[in-house]
Structure 1
Amino acid sequence: MRLTPFRSCLFLLASLAALPAMAVEPPQANPTPRLLEPSLHLPKSGKPGEMRVALTFDACMGEADQRILSVLIDEKIPATIFVTARWLRHNPQTVALLQAHPDQFELENHGENHVPAVDVPVKIYGIAAAGSPQAVEQEVAGGARAMAASGLAAPHWFRGSTAKYDASAMAQIRAMGFRIAGYSLNGDGGSLLGASVAEKRIAAAKDGDVVLSHINQPTHAAGEGVARGILALKRRGVTLVKLSDVVDLSDQTLTH
């Protein structure tokens, strides 16, 4: 049978309808990076009965928590404090006070604008990450430049906002000459814990712990607990140190 043009068109459409449907892949969004949260521990002191704990604090922005700072100064307790450029600009008097106790306090790099050092666009705890290698470099180098402008010693350590990174950003930061400062004990839950919980966490620190707390939230209840927890460690006879007091620190990367 000879097909007319009209019948040929109908035949073709019917043939196509009989073919199996082809799946159409939707466009892929940027995948969520695998975030890493480095931990940091002190080596054993090697002295019978001695327990060592390092106190580290983040000064992200805002003011200084004098409840914590006064305990550190009055009790002559050493600490490592990670400062942002934003915090340095707004706290010159506290910076001068810390500089007046160079054997007790060391200041390290917490970045320029307190953005997570992750080189792809993502939000961590609601905070937008740097988002590119160039922005990671600006965050890290900008923090170091602000420290130099404030008359502080060149930093050796970097701890980014949220303390989370991706692998490529970690490699980039290390290539810039910084060690990445993890921790082993979260003392105040980002300064959001209640005073009693923060106190118990810090007071229970074990030999080799590196404690992370915040020293920039004077209106949060956690600061009161941090101060009491530090005093509890001292009463226990724990040797409290800053990071530079320890020659060899053991660090590893935890994945989340």
Structure 2
Amino acid sequence: MKSLFISFAVALSISTSAASGPRLVEPVLHTGKDRGGPAHVALTFDACMGRVDMRILDVLLRERIPATIFVTARWLQYNPQATAILLAHPDLFEIENHGAMHVPAVDYPTSIYGITAAGSPQAVAREVEGGGAAIVAAGAPQPRWFRGATAKYTAASITEISRLGYRIAGYSINGDDGSLLGAGAAERRVASARDGDVVIAHINQPGHAAGAGVVRGILALKKRGVRFVRLADGAAPPPAPVLSD
């Protein structure tokens, strides 16, 4: 089988933040397209806190589907058995950094979707470094990618995260709206992925209907012949994101 090398292109969409603070940016990430092979899609899952959705993890294991899992230090602490499963399958699962306490990596005082942001550059650094340290302490390799809670940042916090050695993990398809979608809507979102898409969904809400839809969407993509890839499958680190005009 021909080797697949992926390059990552990053664009930043800009959203309006509180009037007293800088603009927030939300990175959009696509993989480079493999012109000579099947369509490929990167599945990424956030494990914010709570437990693990075994509906999703079981299908990834059974179908041998690789994925990138963004974990917080809080999630690792309360899910040692699920963590052991991820660590036992390094060929399938790439473990990346979702922060220490699941606070938005925004460097001024604000609230995003009701979650209080880190609030200062120092607090952003603590959130990033704390998450990375917990992953290494759990026995995984040093993470290279960071996705903050809410996936929103300021330009300055992106610069700080890059200084700490991370790339920002954006996405191109929001598969479950924070695990708040119904099963049918989540299935349609995930199944709509096309060549080069990066899908975000959640793997920490076993009690939500969205997880069942995410599973059905993944299986629909597999039936269509999609090849699943991890963010680590790129030939080289992606370029640092640059703000558009």
The reply to whether residue 79 of structure 1 matches residue 67 of structure 2 is: yes
CA offsets, 1:160-206, max 9 Å, x none? 00000001000000011000100000000110000000001111101
Distance 2:151 2:242 in 1: 11
Contact 2:74 2:101 survives alignment (8 Å):
yes
The reply to whether residue 41 of structure 1 matches residue 7 of structure 2 is: no
Contact 2:99 2:131 survives alignment (8 Å):
yes
Q: Which residue of structure 2 aligns with residue 54 of structure 1?
A: 42
CA offsets, 1:8-43, max 9 Å, x none? xxxxxxxxxxxxxxxxxxxxx981320000011011
3-state SS in 1 of match to 2:201: strand
User: Relative to structure 1, is the Cα distance of residues 47 and 101 closer, same or farther in structure 2, using a 3 angstrom cutoff?
Assistant: same
Distance 2:242 2:102 in 1: 21
3-state SS in 1 of match to 2:129: helix
Distance 1:176 1:69 in 2: 30
What does 1:78-97 correspond to in 2, within 5 Å? 78-97=66-85
Supply the RMSD in Å over aligned alpha carbons: 1.6
Q: Which runs of 4+ in 1 moved over 3 A?
A: 248-255
Q: Which residue of structure 1 aligns with residue 56 of structure 2?
A: 68
- List gaps (5 residues or longer) in structure 2: 1-17
Contact 1:79 1:242 survives alignment (8 Å):
yes
The reply to whether residue 243 of structure 1 matches residue 199 of structure 2 is: no
Q: Which residue of structure 2 aligns with residue 207 of structure 1?
A: 195
Distance 2:49 2:243 in 1: 26
User: Relative to structure 1, is the Cα distance of residues 159 and 182 closer, same or farther in structure 2, using a 3 angstrom cutoff?
Assistant: same
The counterpart of 2:167, out of the listed 168, 171, 179, is 179
Contact 1:38 1:254 survives alignment (8 Å):
no
Partner AA of 1:55 in structure 2? L
The reply to whether residue 148 of structure 1 matches residue 136 of structure 2 is: yes
**Offset at 1:211?**
0.2
Distance 1:126 1:254 in 2: 26
**Offset at 1:251?**
7.5
**Number of equivalent positions:** 226
Partner AA of 1:141 in structure 2? E
Contact 1:190 1:214 survives alignment (8 Å):
yes
CA offsets, 1:76-95, max 9 Å, x none? 00000000000000000010
Q: Which residue of structure 2 aligns with residue 13 of structure 1?
A: none
The reply to whether residue 134 of structure 1 matches residue 122 of structure 2 is: yes
Contact 1:120 1:130 survives alignment (8 Å):
yes
3-state SS in 2 of match to 1:208: coil
Distance 1:56 1:181 in 2: 9
Contact 2:40 2:196 survives alignment (8 Å):
yes
**Offset at 1:253?**
6.3
Q: Which residue of structure 2 aligns with residue 4 of structure 1?
A: none
CA offsets, 1:77-133, max 9 Å, x none? 000000000000000001001111111101000000000000000100010000001
The reply to whether residue 234 of structure 1 matches residue 202 of structure 2 is: no
Q: TM-score, normalised by structure 1?
A: 0.85
The reply to whether residue 31 of structure 1 matches residue 20 of structure 2 is: yes
**Offset at 1:246?**
2.4
User: Relative to structure 1, is the Cα distance of residues 228 and 91 closer, same or farther in structure 2, using a 3 angstrom cutoff?
Assistant: same
Larger radius of gyration: 1
User: Relative to structure 1, is the Cα distance of residues 250 and 227 closer, same or farther in structure 2, using a 3 angstrom cutoff?
Assistant: farther
Q: TM-score, normalised by structure 2?
A: 0.89
